[in-house]
Amino acid sequence: DIQMTQSPSSLSASVGDRVTITCRASQGIRNDLGWYQQKPGKAPKRLIYAASSLQSGVPSRFSGSGSGTEFTLTISSLQPEDLATYYCLQHNTYPHTFGQGTKLEIK
């Protein structure tokens, strides 16, 4: 299986901060990666697909980058409604695998 190592596991940041979350794949996955946001009590929602493409309707403060084994999700200016847990998912090889998640708290 491809292991997705996501970091940090949690972080606390202030409104307006720039936030970066990283996922590293145990082997190359091209750009077959998505980023997901899960708010408490809700189903996850896709933010980014193909590593860097913004899902329709998602605010432009979210962006993704990377290819191969290293990927980042960046929130350029943190907003209160961004309180959530964020996950990456590789869909290059079966079984598809999620990162462990990053719980984002607002200071």
Within 24-63, the residues that bind other proteins by CB under 8 A are 34, 36, 38, 43-46, 49, 55
Alpha-carbon distance of 85 to 44, in angstroms, equals: 9
- Show the binding pattern over residues 75-104: x = contacts other proteins (CB under 8 A), - = does not: ----------x-x-x-x--xxxxxxxx---
Q: Shortest gap between Cβ of 66 and other proteins (angstroms)?
A: 17
- Show the binding pattern over residues 7-26: x = contacts other proteins (CB under 8 A), - = does not: --------------------
Angstrom CA distances, 30 to 27, 55, 67, stand at 9, 19, 5
The SS3 assignment for 18 reads coil
Residue number with CB closer to other proteins (62 or 87):
87
Residue number with CB closer to other proteins (10 or 77):
10
Closest to 26 measured CA to CA, from 84, 106, 90, 104: 90
The DSSP letter of residue 68 is T
Backbone φ and ψ of 82, nearest 5° = -85, 0
Give contact residues for other proteins (rule: CB under 8 A).
1, 34, 36, 38, 43-46, 49, 55, 85, 87, 89, 91, 94-101
